Amino acid sequence: MRPNIDIDWAIHGRIKDYAEANDLTLSEAYTEVLGAGLDTLETQ
């Protein structure tokens, strides 16, 4: 089950731009970006 959270429109716009630039669906883009962010946080 996915959490129901509020995401700032500026961040959503950046994710949408990322998805379009990389030929991804919005869900795929969010998954990649969140995964990369978690990887970064875990290695700090």
pLDDT in tens, 1-44: 567 889 999 999 999 999 999 999 999 999 999 999 999 999 88
Per-residue model confidence (pLDDT) at position 3: 74
26 domain residue, yes or no: yes
Number of domains the chain contains:
1
31 domain residue, yes or no: yes
1 domain residue, yes or no: no
Q: Which domain holds residue 38?
A: 9-42
Per-residue model confidence (pLDDT) at position 41: 93
Residue 43 DSSP symbol? T
User: Residues 29, 15: contact at Cβ < 8 Å?
Assistant: yes
3 domain residue, yes or no: no
